[in-house]
Structure 1
């Protein structure tokens, strides 16, 4: 008997898989860097929160650190786990949707950046009641750059480009934000999910945290097609992820919402294009009435944050967008 995912992959057999050379080079470079530093593990450098995370009122309800990807760790360790993972097995509507998204990701054109190049990500942010309560703007666009070697970042703040000091070492944060680490992640979905679980240090909420980590990596980085596809397939292995019955409105356009409830009252959605299954961004929806510690009353159905991915590409210098 042919399962749903096998049939789905067969139907997309004309899609050529991405060339593995770039991922192999990145993985080799990462492992060499790790081997050089095994004797001493440097203290992780301080990492600046992305602008949208610093300015969104949603940080008050406890998700910004995870979604922004700024949890400092002592060392990420090798990206490839020593034990051979169980085979990737997933089925059902959620898995089918993520498989379509993964196939789309694998066919996206991509040229790996040189170490001196930069990755550029532009997000449009729409915020709700928490931002209004704090007197913050409800709409904002953020533009950020990461040098491809992982040692420098830049951001547009109030119309001015701010370039952070260069770091002597790769940042040690979870989820990873530097291209060498991202490009060297496991390309087996179950191995990647295990890698995230062992580094999230989140106890019983490990799957919820792993979901947020993947959401952040998809939204805030420029990823090799194989890594992006693996992240999408790993989402299908997380229990509790659901698919919207039909398209939802996402910043004025239809989208498929793939979501997971967090803390019992909010759902973190990953949004996909209904036709192509391209990743569009993420949002936070209130699923149970809730009052924040600051006294903001949120009602079921409120959309508190939308993060629309406008652009993600390789550029030659910070400040450039194309």
Structure 2
């Protein structure tokens, strides 16, 4: 086994600690090296102990250095948000397109970190009544939608003007440039807010269905948003491990304001949710209340 094989072996078995621990480890290694030069042992002793010493040194560095700084291991790509989002785009593009029937519903089950479960049944074409976390929402038919859950019982079921809002989106851009322009238009006067952009990215990936090319364009457009950071070894709201992309809050925000952290599977780069929530089921069903 040569040195590179040894490094790979150690990198796969030793955990990674925060970068702030690197400096003390580096000082210890340098001090040891200085002592080695002052008290150089005979060559036969160095050769006999080379593998052991190298293994110990690698263990110290790998254990205290993130993968992106060591340059080994599967976590290298995770250190760069652009690379992570590019991989997410590639994964999305490979997903087979599965157009639903217009009369079906999108069922999404979301698990939150506080163990709360959210379930929604959303009309594919927007013309049928949906059920969102226990609340009924009227479908838009012939420009009119019934009102439900109003504060005034007399208005319950009354019709109001509307436009259908299909949950299966075939109207979205399929290139990064066009998708970024779309996201900025959706953000309006908040288009310079990285956090707002993150929420809009999440909103499209969450309880809607895009065509594979639009999903890819979404993540490619997100990669162009400035100020993003990648977080290794995060978990989504269901405790599943992944890599996180952080969309920070604007400077001067309230201390209670939290950054949006979108989580992807660390191996497949599939969208999982956020650090607070996890999309655990997302599929089509034939009627409201039906579960796969």
Normalised TM-score (structure 1): 0.53
Counterpart for residue 140 of structure 1? 116
Q: 1:1-322 counterparts in 2 under 5 A?
A: 93-126=80-113, 138-152=114-128, 153-157=130-134, 163-168=136-141, 169=143, 178-179=166-167, 182-203=169-190, 205-244=192-231, 246-250=232-236, 251-264=238-251, 265=255, 266-283=258-275, 306-322=276-292
What's the CA shift string for 1:101-137, capped at 9, x where partnerless?
Answer: 11111222341012111111110112xxxxxxxxxxx
Q: Distance in 1 between matches of 2:225 and 2:284?
A: 30
Say if 1:203 and 1:107 are closer, same or farther in 2 by CA, change over 3 A. closer
Unaligned runs of 5+ in 2: 1-78, 146-160
Say if 1:177 and 1:261 are closer, same or farther in 2 by CA, change over 3 A. farther
Q: Distance in 2 between matches of 1:267 and 1:315?
A: 33
Alpha-carbon contact 2:194-2:248 (below 8 Å) kept: no
Q: Distance in 2 between matches of 1:207 and 1:234?
A: 12
Say if 1:231 and 1:191 are closer, same or farther in 2 by CA, change over 3 A. same
Structure 1 SS opposite 2:206: helix
Alpha-carbon contact 2:193-2:249 (below 8 Å) kept: no
Give the Å deviation of 1:207: 4.1
Give the Å deviation of 1:281: 0.4
Counterpart for residue 4 of structure 2? none
Counterpart for residue 49 of structure 1? none
Give the Å deviation of 1:204: 6.1
Pairwise CA RMSD = 2.7
Alpha-carbon contact 2:123-2:139 (below 8 Å) kept: no
Structure 2 SS opposite 1:205: coil
Alpha-carbon contact 1:222-1:314 (below 8 Å) kept: no
Unaligned runs of 5+ in 1: 1-91, 127-137, 284-305
Counterpart for residue 68 of structure 2? none
Normalised TM-score (structure 2): 0.58
Alpha-carbon contact 1:249-1:255 (below 8 Å) kept: yes
What's the CA shift string for 1:234-292, capped at 9, x where partnerless?
Answer: 11011111111x21233433210111111445221010111111111013xxxxxxxxx
The number of equivalent residue pairs is: 190
Structure 2 SS opposite 1:280: strand
Greater Rg, structure 1 or structure 2?
2
Q: Distance in 2 between matches of 1:254 and 1:199?
A: 31
Alpha-carbon contact 1:104-1:276 (below 8 Å) kept: yes
Counterpart for residue 40 of structure 1? none
Structure 2 SS opposite 1:201: helix
Report which of the two has the higher share of helix.
Answer: 2
Q: Distance in 2 between matches of 1:145 and 1:268?
A: 25
Q: Distance in 1 between matches of 2:191 and 2:93?
A: 33
Say if 1:204 and 1:188 are closer, same or farther in 2 by CA, change over 3 A. closer
What's the CA shift string for 1:134-190, capped at 9, x where partnerless?
Answer: xxxx32111101111123321352xxxx543222349999xx96335x221010112
Alpha-carbon contact 2:194-2:250 (below 8 Å) kept: no
Q: Distance in 2 between matches of 1:163 and 1:113?
A: 22
Alpha-carbon contact 2:194-2:247 (below 8 Å) kept: no
Say if 1:221 and 1:203 are closer, same or farther in 2 by CA, change over 3 A. closer
